Structure 1
Amino acid sequence: MTFARFALTLTYLLLALTATSQIPTNGLVAHWPFTGNVNDAHGTHHGNANNIVPAQGKMGMNNTAYQFNHANAFIGVPYQSDMNMSAISMCAILKPNAFYTNTCQGNYVLIRGTIGSSGGYFHGFSDNAYNNCNAADTNLYVFSVHVGPITMPNSAMQSNTKVHTGSWYCVVMTYDSGTTKIYVDGALVNTTTGWSTTIGSSTDSICIGKFPWGGPGFPYNFNGVLDDIAIYNRALTQSEIDSYCTNAPLIGN
C-alpha cells in the first residue's frame, strides 16, 4: 500500500470513528464539547465566554478545548428551569495546569449557586479534606463533589485520588437518593451514603471555571484545560460513564 493510500484510509477511519462517537443522551440536560465555541451541543444552555483561550483537547487536536489561565477566566451559563433536578451527574474531561493555593484552596470546574445552597451543585478539587483554609499542600489535592443544602465533613465528599498537574482526567460525579459517587477515569473512587436532603431548587445560573460569587478574595478559579463538560438529570451507570470517558474526547476531533 502506498503512503498516500494509507493516509487516505486512516483519514476515513478517523472520520468514521468521530461520526459514530457520542456520549449517552438519556437524561442529558446540557453538553459543552468546546469544539470552537461554548454552545450547548444538546440544547439551549449556551455559555458566555470570558477570558478563555482555544486549546488542544485530550486527543491533541486544536480548537477542541479551552484553556483557563486567568483569575477572571470563566464561562457563564444563564438560568433555565431544567437546571433544577432531584438527581444529577456532572461529567468533565479536564487537565489541571496549576492549583489555586490561596485561602481555602478551591478549584472550581463547575458550580451552581454556592456550596450548601438549595439547588446548588459543585464539581472540582481542593486539599480541604487534609488542611485548613490557610495551609495549601499541592501534594494533597483531591476531587470533590457537593449537592444541595447538605452539611457533611469535606472528607466525606472527596475522593482519595490525588490530582496532578499536566495530567488528563475524566471525572464523573453523581448523586441520587442520598448517595454521591465520584468516578475518576471510569473507576469508582468514592461513595458517600446517608445524605438526608434533596438538591432543592433555585434560579441560580451555572459557572464553569471559577466561583463568580466569591469576590476578589475567593475566586477559586480553575487553571487548566477543559475538553468537555456534560450534565445529566440522573445518575449514570458504570457502563454509561465508561462510554462518556471513551467518547467525549473524540467529539469534534
Structure 2
Amino acid sequence: MAGRPAEPEVIWARPERSGRGPKPAFSRADIAAAACRIADEGGLDAVTMRHVAAELGCGTMSLYNYVPRKEDLYELMVDRVSGEYDLPEKPSGDWRADLTTLAHRARAIMQVHPWMARLMSAVYGFSPNTMRYIEYSLSCLDAIDAPYGEKMELVAMVNGVVTTYVANELQTAERTKSLPWSAEQEHAVRMAYLGREIASGRYPRLAAAFAEDSGPIDMEAVFDRALARVLDGFDSRRPGTSPRPETS
C-alpha cells in the first residue's frame, strides 16, 4: 500500500509526509485532531483511515502518505490527548500528592475521551507528549532513594489503577444506557436476589460484608483508596523504611 514502510519504524522519526509532491496539506496535529473527534463521537471502532480521510477532505490513499499504518494513527491520537495534561513547572515536593493529582487528572481526561482506556499501552507510551508526562512523573519522585526502574513501575501501576477504574466506569455506564429499564430498577432486583442468597447462610463472609454496608458506595473514596494502596506499597519497599502502622 502506498506510503507503507518496508520495515518497522517510529512515526516520530519519520518526516511529516513521505514521497514527492506539493507541500503537505495537513499536519500530524490536523490528522490527530480529526481522529480524536471521530473517536470522541463514535468510539475507537469508528476511527478508520477512510473515515479520517473523509473528515480531512482528502483521499484515503493520500492519508497513507502522512500516516503509514493505523497503529501510527493511534499513536498520534494518544500523543494529542496526552498533551492535555496541564503539568506544573515543577513538582510540589510531596510525591504522593503529586502522583495522586496526576491520577485524578488522568481519570478526568479518560472520561472525556473514553476510547483512551483501550489505547493505554506501552506500545504508545513514548511519543513526545507521553514522554513529557513520564518525565514529570519521575521528577515527582526525585527525593526518593530508589532505582529508576522501580519509579517507572510505580508510574505504570498508578496508570494501571486509573485505566482499570475508568474502563469499569465506562462499561457500567454503557451497559446502563442500553437497558430497557432504569439502573435503579436493576439494582433493586439484584440486591433482592443477593439478599435471599446471603440469608441462606451459605455465604457468611459476604453476609458480614453486607452487614457493614453503610449506604451507597462512594466511588471517589474507592478510587482514592486504590491509589493510596499502590503508593503505600511503593513506600514500604523503599530502603530504610517500614510499612505504615495500622490505624484503628
Q: TM exceeds 0.5? A: no
Higher helix share: 2
Provide the TM-score with structure 1 as the length reference: 0.23
Higher strand share: 1
Provide the TM-score with structure 2 as the length reference: 0.23
Say which one has the larger Rg: 2
